[in-house]
Amino acid sequence: MKIISVVGARPNFMKIAPFIRALEVRRQTYGLELQHLLVHTGQHYDVRMSAAFFAALNIPEPDINLKVGSGSHAEQLGQTMIEFEKVLLAEKPDWVVVVGDVNATLACSVIAKRLHIKVAHIEAGLRSGDMRMPEEINRLVTDRLSDLLLTPDRMSSENLLREGVPAEKIRFVGNIMIDTLEANRDQAQELDLNAIVRQNRIEGQPDPVTGLRDGQFALMTMHRPSNVDHRQILMPIMDFLLTEVTADQPLVWPIHPRSKKQLQAFDCWEAVLQHPGVVLLEPLGYHEMMRLNLGARIMLTDSGGLQEECCVLGTPCLTLRWNTERPVTLREYGGASVLVGNNIERIRNEYLHTLSLEVAPSRPEYWDGAAASRMVEEILEREMVSR
C-alpha cells in the first residue's frame, strides 16, 4: 500500500507530523508493506515559514518538493495541479492524504480524483459560512471529492451530514493539531521568553525597558487580507494597539510578511517599529510560538490554528474575524475565544472584558493527542475493505 500526503503551507506541517509518526508506528508494529511519500508543494518557501518547521517538529525531509512558490490563487492552483499530476502518474499511490484548507489541499484533491485515486481529507467538515474566504471554497470542494472525511469535532461531522455526505464516508477522529501540541508542550515550556525575543527581534527597534514576564504581555498574530489589505481597516486597528493595548502591557507581535508589507505600503511601519511598547518578531518556530502562547495574558489573532491552541491552553483569545470554521473553540461552546471582527468598538469592549478573565483550559472530545492514530486506522481499514 502506498500513501502520498501533501503539505503546502505552515499549518499543514504541524498537522502532518503526528500522522507520519502514526503511520510508522503502525508499519513497525504490524510489519505492513506500507510506503509513504511526503510531497511539499512549496507554497511556503521562506526558511522561517517552512524549513524551520520541518526541523523543529522532526518531520522527514519531503520526498518531493514541487517548488510552486508564491503567486495568485489561480497561479498556485494551476501550477500545483500540473506538477502534482506528474507525481501521481509516476508513483501511482493508493491514497492521497490532504490536510486543512490551503490551495495545495484543493489542487491535489482535484488531480487525485481525476486519476481515480482515493482521497482522505484531514480536518474535513470545517465551515465558516463565508464564501468570500478562499479557504472556505477549498474546504467545500475538497470535502465533496474526498472518499474519507476525517473530522476534528462533532460539529464538523454534522456540517457534512447536512450537506448530504453519506455517513459512511465520515469519521470523527479528533483534532490532529492537538497531537502536535501535546507532543511538544513540555519542550516549549522550557524555553525562555526573553531568549525568544533576543533571537527573533526585528532589527531597528529600541531596546525594551524591561523583559517579558508570564501573564504580563499581549500576543498578536494578524495576516488575513480582510484585516491588513485595506488602509481604512488596518489603521484603526493599529491605533488601538499602539495607544490602548500598549498602555496596559507590552504587545508581542511575530509579524507575517504580508502584514509587514502592508504597514510599509501605508507608511505605518516606522511608527510600529519604533514604538517602545511593541515587540516585533520575525515569524517564529512552533515551540517558540507555543511558549509565547503559554505565557500570554491575552491573544489577539486571525489564525484558526491559534484559536484551537488557546482553547486547550486556556489563553483568553480575541479572534479578529467575523466568523470561524472552528466554533467549538468559542466561549459559548466552552472554549477560550470570542469573535470581534475588525470593529474597533467591539474589539475594545471585548479586550477590556477579556483582561478580567483567568486562564481556563478546555478540551473538546477527542482532542486528546491520539487523533493521528485513529486517522491511520480508518485509512487502513478502508483499504482492506476495498481489497
DSSP of 141-169: HHHHH-SEEEESSHHHHHHHHHTT--GGG
Among 73, 223, 230, 275, the one annotated catalytic: 223
Encode pLDDT of 358-372 as tens digits.
899 999 999 999 999
Least confident of 70-79, 262-271, 272-281: 70-79
Residue 361 lies in a domain: no
Residue type, 381: E
Same domain, 44 and 120: yes
Residue 237 within any structural domain of the chain: yes
pLDDT of 47 higher than 60? no
Are 129 and 276 within one domain? no
Residues 118 and 242 in one domain: no
Q: Are residues 90 and 186 in the same domain?
A: no
The verdict on whether 353 is a catalytic residue reads no
Residue 311: pLDDT band (50, 70, 90) is: very high
Position 282 scores a pLDDT of 94
- Co-location of 151 and 214 in the same domain: no
Residue 269 lies in a domain: yes
> Beta 148-151 vs 218-221: how paired, if at all?
unpaired
pLDDT tier at 37, thresholds 50, 70, 90: very high
Q: Are residues 158 and 244 in the same domain?
A: no
- Confidence class of residue 387 from pLDDT cuts 50, 70 and 90? low
Query: 187 and 171, same structural domain?
Result: no
- Report if residue 158 sits inside a domain: yes
Residues 307 and 232 in one domain: yes
Report the C-alpha gap between 200 and 191 in whole angstroms.
Answer: 13
Domain containing residue 253: CATH number: 3.40.50.2000
Residue 301 lies in a domain: yes
SS3 368: coil
Cβ pair 169, 146 in contact under 8 A = yes
User: What one-letter code names the amino acid at 189?
Assistant: Q
Q: What is the pLDDT of residues 312-358, one digit of tens each?
A: 999 999 999 999 999 999 999 999 999 999 999 999 999 999 999 98
Q: What does the pLDDT read at residue 130? A: 94
Contact indicator for 53, 22 with CB cutoff of 8 Å: no
Query: Does any domain span residue 154?
Result: yes
| Segment 192-219, tens digit of pLDDT | 999 999 999 999 998 876 789 999 999 9
100 shares a domain with 160 = yes
Taking the CB of residue 209, how many other CB atoms lie within 10 A of it?
8
C-alpha cell at 129: 459560512
Distances (CA, A) of 68 to 48, 81, 107, 141, 295: 17, 10, 12, 21, 36
**Number of domains making up the chain:** 2
Q: Do 382 and 343 share a domain, yes or no?
A: no
pLDDT of residue 48 exceeding 60, the answer is: no
Q: Residues 106, 202: one domain?
A: no
Which structural domain range is residue 343 located in? 182-354
Same domain assignment for residues 190 and 171? no
Residue 21, domain member (yes or no): yes
Q: Is 336 inside any structural domain?
A: yes
Average pLDDT over residues 33-61: 77
